[in-house]
Amino acid sequence: MSEIVSVSGGPTKPEIIAVSLSKLGLKDGDRFADVGCGTGSVSIEAARIARNLAIYAIDARKEALLATETNFKNFGIKNARVLAGEASDILGSTESIDSIDCAFVGGTKNIDSILEKLVEKKARSIVVNAVRIETVVRTIEAMKRLDIFDEVVHVAVSRSAPIAGETMFKPENPVYIVVGKRQS
């Protein structure tokens, strides 16, 4: 089994990916956008849940794109396009992507614009991960303006760690999972 190549900010912790993808509700054949893909770990897990996904992995950082390409190759991810640049520009262009069914947003720079573009692309389900409270509030407000706000889940995970031959728990940074659904 390959080890995932990491970059700063990623990979997203597996427990956070699990809750995020369960909220997303992927279906076989969906067009899935991994916005701010970092290492691509969310796309890799998404491809285990749903068959024949068309994956659009987007990041503005060169090192993230290189890690995603390596990880996709090592984990046998097919039918994926790795797109370089500002997500709101890429999602706004009809040349790169004509429609999206579900989107995971792990990179929240320009979140208002990203959400607008995902709604224009007819996304039925959007999940945003945020650690800063200001980003959480901005995301909720933008989703309410766009009439897609569903819920926020605050996830706090503690992981076992050895101590003097026994076991203690160390807390991970809490993450807010903000969920948007198309009303219809």
Ligand X SMILES: C[S@@+](CC[C@H](N)C(=O)[O-])C[C@H]1O[C@@H](n2cnc3c(N)ncnc32)[C@H](O)[C@@H]1O
Residue 36 binds ligand X, judged by CB under 6 A: yes
Read out DSSP for 47-110? HHHSSS-EEEEEES-HHHHHHHHHHHHHTT--SEEEEES-HHHHHH-TTT-S--SEEEE---TT
Residue 19 binds ligand X, judged by CB under 6 A: no
Minimum Å distance from CB 167 to ligand X? 27
Largest CA distance in the chain: 58
Q: How many other C-beta atoms can be found within 10 angstroms of the C-beta atom of residue 59?
A: 30
Residue 42 binds ligand X, judged by CB under 6 A: yes
Size of the site for ligand X (CB under 6 A): 22
Options 57-65, 72-80, 92-100, 154-162: segment touching ligand X (CB under 6 A)? 57-65
Q: Rounded CA gap, 37 and 82, in Å?
A: 9
Options 7-15, 91-99, 152-160, 170-178: segment touching ligand X (CB under 6 A)? 7-15
Residues 88-107 that bind ligand X (CB under 6 A): 106-107
Q: Among residues 94 and 167, whose Cβ is nearest to ligand X?
A: 94
Q: Rounded CA gap, 184 and 170, in Å?
A: 42
Residues that bind ligand X (CB under 6 A): 9-12, 36-39, 41-42, 58-61, 64, 86-87, 106-110
